[in-house]
Structures are given as C-alpha cells and as structure tokens.
A = this chain, B = another copy of it.
Amino acid sequence: MAKYTELSTLGEFGLIDHLTRTIQLKNPSSRKGVGDDAAVLDYGDKKILVSTDMLIQGIHFDLTYTPLKHLGYKSVAVNASDICAMNGIPRQITVALAISNHFSVESLEEFYAGMYLACEHYGIDLVGGDTTSSKTGMCISITVLGEAAEEDIVYRNTAKENELICVTGDLGAAYMGLQLLEREKLVFEDNEQTQPDFAGYEYILERQLKPEARQDIIRQFREKGFKPTAMIDISDGLASEIMHICKDSGIGCNIYEEKIPIDYQTFKMAEELNMNATVCALSGGEDYELLFTAPLNAYDQLTAMPGITVIGHTCKAEQGCYMTTRDGNTFELKAQGWTNFSSPKPVEKNAND
C-alpha cells in the first residue's frame, strides 16, 4: 500500500521546505527563488520581483460578508504588499480566476472594479490572466511583478545583531475585524431580521475588508534615503514574521509588548470578545504592515517618520526570540497558528509570502 503522511505532520513552512529543498536554479536570470517575499529575476538594468498569492473561497474569504469589490481590491493589495516587502515598486499583475456558473456578469464586474481601483492606487497594470469556470467555490490567483534597483532590494535574511526592530501602522486590527464579521454572521444566521451592528468599529472592518500595501512607506524610505537591513510583510502575524527574519538571518530578538502599536478599536473589540489584543497582534494575521530592521543610528530618522514604531531590538541567536510583557516578564515567541492544513484559520502558506 502507498505511504500516506498527513499534510499537517509537516506543518506549513515544513511542507514548503520539504517540497522545494532540492531546487537548484539553472537560469542566470533566476537570482533568488523560493524563500523570501518575492523571487528576484535579472533581465537587465533593473531587477524584477515576482510573487504569487492564492485566495480561496471558504478559506481566505467568506462571500457572505465580503463585498466583491473589496475582495478585488484586497487581492491586488496583498500581492503589492509582497513587492513592498522587498523594498520594490509593483508594476504588473496577472490574474487567474475560477468562478462558478452562478456568478453574474455584474458581480464579476464588481470584482474587476475593485481590482482596477487597487491597480490605479498602486500604479499597477493588469497585463493578463485566465478566467475559468469552477464547480465549487471562487479561486483567485494573482501574480505580481515589481521592480527595484539591485542595491535597493531588501531580503529577510540580512538582519544583524543589535539592530532596531520596527513595524509600520498598527497590528491585530484585521483579525479583530474578521472576528466581528464572523460574530455578526452568526447573529444573522440565528435571526435574519437583525441588522449587523458595526458602529464604532469602522476602522477594524476596513482593515479586514480593504487592507493596503504600505507602498507609501517604501516611497518615504526612498525620499529620505533610508534602506532597512531586512524586511518582511506581516501577513501571518507579528510573531511568525519576526521569527522568519531571525531564523533566516541567524539572530535572536527581544520585543516589548508595550511598544506594539495597537489601535483603540482593536483593544475594544478584543475586550468585548474576551481576547488578548497582544495575542491578536502576534498571531492574528492579514495586517499587511511592514516589519523591518535598521541600524541603531537610524533611530532618530525613523522615529521622525510618521507611521513607524520601534518595538525592540535584535540580539545573538543564542539569546532566542523573546517578548518582554507589560509587567516585566519575558515570554519566548512562538509562531503559533500555522499548522494550516489542520486549522480552519485563514492563514497564508506562501513560498514567496
């Protein structure tokens, strides 16, 4: 009988490592393959960054409460975010789309309107794709191409000891927005006469339904002549992303709970749902903010930039990856919640994530 090993035994990143570890790049134009936010290709003056993301109905989105226009926007934004995470500028996308026959032309137009809006916002051209029918749910796969000069590209394995750890924006809001939508869905299923109550939670809803790639931050870096030493986008929660940088760079880290930027609405929703807002920031996912490291002497320059928070520092690998809590205790960081093939949580499992 054929051997049968469950996918969940390898874990998310273990599975990707397992399937891709034998790859040896053959073409001179393939500069960097699997293992960062985007691949790096060399076809001339500028380097090309390429990344692919797939969004599946029932796993990554729920059409009960996700407007198709928002979904189209988000599909483009999360891909643009991977290019930003390499310190590049997104330029083109291709879109592969599977939809059921029950879709109307009008609903597909809504989805495209959202994609075009995001393309307009980020200066991206939609240059090709594939539309096919699906017997089951909707499936969206977008590949984004971006560009950067070789000297501008920032990888995730180039952080050093004794550097600053910084994040953009605030964290945990998208996950809290998702929890709110799920709660109101249950209420509605119980009693279809009730109207969802989102008052006071507009921000966390928008963070879930219409996230933005932080291209504004990348442009700000260029204007100010600043380049991070390592960078990644926060799609699977802060803890997972910090540990990617630390593992790949061969370093450790210490971050401070009190420094993690969390919005008031995120705190309020977490309290209402009896959850810990810090845990949401560490493990919630879908923030699409940037996590990066920088030399200590960049501190003044960074704290003067709007939207950037220093949350800790890197250290030797032997010291491990820790968070100092508000009450002064230390906790070892764990990349929890990424046993994706056994978990219903909408997490990304991305070779170029």
Query: Is A59 in the interface zone, CB < 8 Å from B?
Result: yes
Q: Which residues of the partner chain B approach A109 to less than 8 Å between Cβ atoms?
A: 19
Query: Is A318 in the interface zone, CB < 8 Å from B?
Result: no
Q: Which residues of the partner chain B approach A38 to less than 8 Å between Cβ atoms?
A: 128
Query: Is A290 in the interface zone, CB < 8 Å from B?
Result: no
Q: Is the CB of A98 within 8 A of B139?
A: yes
Number of interface residues of A (CB under 8 A): 88
Query: Is A340 in the interface zone, CB < 8 Å from B?
Result: yes
Nearest B residue to A38 by beta-carbon distance? B128
For A32, A133, A349, the residue with the greatest tally of chain B CB atoms inside 10 Å of its CB is A133
Q: Which residues of the partner chain B approach A43 to less than 8 Å between Cβ atoms?
A: 43-46, 48, 147
Query: Is A254 in the interface zone, CB < 8 Å from B?
Result: no
Q: Which residues of the partner chain B approach A6 to less than 8 Å between Cβ atoms?
A: 101, 104-105
- Quick one: given A30-B125, A131-B351, are A7 and B103 in contact (CB under 8 Å)? yes
Query: Is A5 in the interface zone, CB < 8 Å from B?
Result: yes
Q: Is the CB of B92 within 8 A of A129?
A: no
Shortest A193–chain B CB gap in Å is 20
Shortest A216–chain B CB gap in Å is 18
Query: Is A262 in the interface zone, CB < 8 Å from B?
Result: no
Shortest A73–chain B CB gap in Å is 16
Q: Which residues of the partner chain B approach A304 to less than 8 Å between Cβ atoms?
A: none
Query: Is A64 in the interface zone, CB < 8 Å from B?
Result: no
Main secondary structure of the interface of A (DSSP, over half): mixed
Within 8 Å by CB of A106, from B4, B15, B128, lies B4
- Quick one: given A129-B352, A130-B351, A340-B133, are A7 and B54 in contact (CB under 8 Å)? no
Shortest A211–chain B CB gap in Å is 17
Q: Is the CB of A128 within 8 A of B342?
A: no
Q: Which residues of the partner chain B approach A112 to less than 8 Å between Cβ atoms?
A: 19
Query: Is A353 in the interface zone, CB < 8 Å from B?
Result: yes
Q: Is the CB of B126 within 8 A of A5?
A: no
Q: Is the CB of B106 within 8 A of A33?
A: no
Shortest A43–chain B CB gap in Å is 5
Q: Is the CB of B105 within 8 A of A18?
A: yes
Distance of A350 Cα from B33 Cα, bound (Å) = 26
Query: Is A319 in the interface zone, CB < 8 Å from B?
Result: no
Q: Is the CB of B91 within 8 A of A29?
A: yes
A-B contact pairs, 25 of them (CB 8 A): A2-B106, A7-B104, A9-B105, A19-B131, A22-B116, A27-B92, A29-B92, A34-B128, A38-B128, A41-B92, A43-B45, A43-B46, A44-B44, A50-B145, A53-B130, A54-B96, A54-B97, A59-B132, A59-B134, A59-B135, A129-B350, A131-B349, A132-B349, A133-B349, A136-B136
